[in-house]
């Protein structure tokens, strides 16, 4: 039993506890309450700290750590076109190094559960999917990698060059094999696989439909990009005679087992359909800003009752974005668009925790601090400079993110005093730098 005491607890599920305790045994939370904990157990002094549920990252492309800074001022389609040829050269070592750095960086910003979307599998370059799974095991995060895919190259009217796409049959076989090999559906699972074709402009309608059928037959979730930019609207109108969400719906891609990245350009009807079907959105405000995509209608989605989580997106379109910082970015952008009551700090924190858990289908296990849930906990130092703000949640969300005193994943300490304790900061950083060098010279 381990007990964190004298801590301000933002449970997210219920009332906050200004001075209380959190006790966990193995990977489960056993007690959350005010004052001291009566039972036995090793003590961690949480004085000066805010405890939040571990943050959930709902969208990433870990391999992109190796290609940051490419096309710093281009649109999504310009940036993608420049990036594809570089990504075609990645191998398992690049993916492992990049994933170690990216997951380490996520952990250092409070993330306990990370999803990934890996959709490029160049031939003869090792087992790229296994490489990122190994990295997640080493860093110690709960991991939801999506076996991504692209089958619609330029010769088929798609955006990517033909050299980076695979055939539909090969993709479906590899995806099924990945689910059968790695997916663990149990309570407390550290590894779950999603089926994740890349986007309407790089994947055929047939593969989208068959991917959905495959995921549903295997009982796993579906993820893809949707409605990110106006270029995509235009592409979908021209090629399919529909807007992106209408197109996705026509392919069976709305539902409680689907979460979509970005969803910046939604119509009123789309928002209603997301709420009615329980379709989740991975909101990536920094990436949307970086690529000039727009400001997503997140507060309207939340008001409608649709699940919304936060994501940093791949580092090639958001560089060194920390996940906790996306809480602030989401809040500020919603207020810039809709006014000062559009998104509160607590709503943004809920989005980063329970909202993400809902997107990943794990709301019974993670996303809030309650007895019976998994011990995925972030402890933030809100003393020192931050103590001039009375409300610890405001101190946490409004300015620069406070230091991370400790990050616990399933009862295990992954970060302490801001530094990784599973792999070292130095090893994670070097993994990322090596991946970058290897990709640039290959």
Interacting residues with Zn ion (CB under 5 A):
261, 313
Three-state DSSP class for residue 270: helix
Residues with Cβ within 8 Å of residue 55, at least 6 apart in sequence? 109, 110, 111, 112, 113, 310, 323, 324, 327, 352, 353, 356, 378
Which two tokens mark 157? Answer: 């009217």
In whole angstroms, what is the distance from residue 92 CA to residue 104 CA? 18
User: Which CB sits closer to Zn ion, 11 or 286?
Assistant: 286
Nearest approach, Cβ of 119 to Zn ion (angstroms)?
9
Nearest approach, Cβ of 94 to Zn ion (angstroms)?
18
Cβ pair 285, 348 in contact under 8 A = no
Q: Are strands 377-381 and 308-310 parallel, antiparallel or unpaired?
A: unpaired
Nearest approach, Cβ of 199 to Zn ion (angstroms)?
8
Which two tokens mark 269? Answer: 């009807």
In whole angstroms, what is the distance from residue 141 CA to residue 376 CA? 10
User: Which CB sits closer to Zn ion, 64 or 353?
Assistant: 64
User: Which CB sits closer to Zn ion, 111 or 423?
Assistant: 111
Cβ pair 183, 155 in contact under 8 A = no
Which two tokens mark 403? Answer: 């230091």
Please report how the helices 168-182 and 205-218 are oriented relative to each other, as an axis angle in degrees rounded to 10: 20
**Alpha helix positions (H), 37-125:** 76-87, 92-108
In whole angstroms, what is the distance from residue 204 CA to residue 273 CA? 23
User: Which CB sits closer to Zn ion, 116 or 313?
Assistant: 313
Nearest approach, Cβ of 6 to Zn ion (angstroms)?
40
User: Which CB sits closer to Zn ion, 17 or 102?
Assistant: 102
User: Which CB sits closer to Zn ion, 261 or 435?
Assistant: 261
Please report how the helices 92-108 and 128-139 are oriented relative to each other, as an axis angle in degrees rounded to 10: 30
User: Which CB sits closer to Zn ion, 11 or 83?
Assistant: 83
Nearest approach, Cβ of 317 to Zn ion (angstroms)?
7
User: Which CB sits closer to Zn ion, 300 or 313?
Assistant: 313
In angstroms, the Cα distances linking 167 to 30, 173, 174 are 49, 10, 11
**Alpha helix positions (H), 305-380:** 323-338, 345-350, 356-359
User: Which CB sits closer to Zn ion, 103 or 423?
Assistant: 103
User: Which CB sits closer to Zn ion, 5 or 132?
Assistant: 132
Nearest approach, Cβ of 2 to Zn ion (angstroms)?
36
Q: Any idea which residue has 């391999």 for tokens?
A: 63
Nearest approach, Cβ of 58 to Zn ion (angstroms)?
11
Three-state DSSP class for residue 21: strand
Residues with Cβ within 8 Å of residue 430, at least 6 apart in sequence? 97
Nearest approach, Cβ of 228 to Zn ion (angstroms)?
8
Nearest approach, Cβ of 55 to Zn ion (angstroms)?
18
In whole angstroms, what is the distance from residue 14 CA to residue 234 CA? 44
Nearest approach, Cβ of 86 to Zn ion (angstroms)?
16
């Amino acid at each position: 039993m381990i007990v964190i005491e004298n801590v301000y607890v933002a449970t997210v599920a219920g009332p906050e506890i200004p001075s209380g305790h959190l006790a966990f045994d193995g990977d489960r939370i056993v007690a959350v309450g005010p004052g001291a904990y009566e039972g036995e157990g090793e003590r961690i002094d949480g004085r000066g700290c805010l405890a939040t549920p571990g943050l959930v990252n709902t969208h990433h492309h870990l391999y992109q750590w190796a290609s940051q800074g490419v096309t710093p001022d281009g649109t999504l389609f310009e940036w993608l076109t420049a990036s594809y040829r570089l990504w075609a050269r990645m191998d398992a070592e690049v993916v492992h190094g990049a994933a170690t750095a990216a997951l380490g960086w996520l952990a250092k910003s409070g993330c306990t559960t990370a999803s990934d979307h890996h959709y490029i599998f160049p031939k003869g370059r090792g087992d790229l999917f296994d490489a990122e799974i190994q990295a997640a095991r080493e860093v110690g995060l709960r991991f939801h990698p999506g076996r991504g895919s692209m089958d619609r190259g330029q010769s088929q009217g798609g955006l990517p060059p033909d050299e980076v796409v695979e055939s539909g049959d090969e993709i479906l076989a590899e995806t099924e094999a990945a689910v059968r090999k790695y997916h663990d559906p149990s309570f407390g699972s550290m590894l779950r696989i999603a089926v994740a074709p890349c986007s309407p402009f790089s994947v055929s309608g047939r593969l989208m439909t068959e991917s959905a059928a495959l995921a549903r037959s295997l009982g796993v979730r579906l993820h893809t990009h949707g409605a990110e930019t106006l270029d995509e609207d235009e592409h979908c109108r021209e090629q399919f005679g529909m807007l992106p969400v209408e197109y996705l719906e026509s392919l069976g891609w709305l539902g409680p087992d689907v979460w979509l990245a970005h969803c910046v350009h939604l119509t009123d009807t789309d928002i209603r359909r997301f709420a009615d079907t329980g379709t989740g959105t991975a909101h990536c405000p920094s990436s949307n800003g970086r690529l000039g995509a727009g400001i997503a209608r997140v507060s309207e989605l939340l008001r409608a009752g649709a699940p919304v989580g936060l994501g940093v997106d791949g580092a090639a379109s958001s560089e060194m974005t920390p996940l906790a910082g996306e809480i602030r970015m989401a809040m500020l952008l919603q207020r810039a668009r809709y006014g000062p009551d559009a998104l509160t700090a607590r709503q943004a924190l809920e989005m980063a925790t329970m909202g993400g858990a809902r997107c990943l289908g794990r709301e019974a296990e993670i996303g809030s601090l309650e007895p019976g849930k998994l011990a995925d906990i972030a402890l933030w130092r809100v003393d020192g400079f931050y103590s001039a703000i009375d409300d610890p949640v405001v101190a946490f969300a409004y300015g620069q993110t406070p230091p991370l005193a400790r990050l616990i994943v399933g009862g295990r300490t992954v970060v302490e005093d801001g530094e990784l304790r599973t792999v070292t900061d130095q090893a994670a950083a070097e993994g990322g730098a090596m991946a970058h060098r290897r990709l640039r010279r290959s």
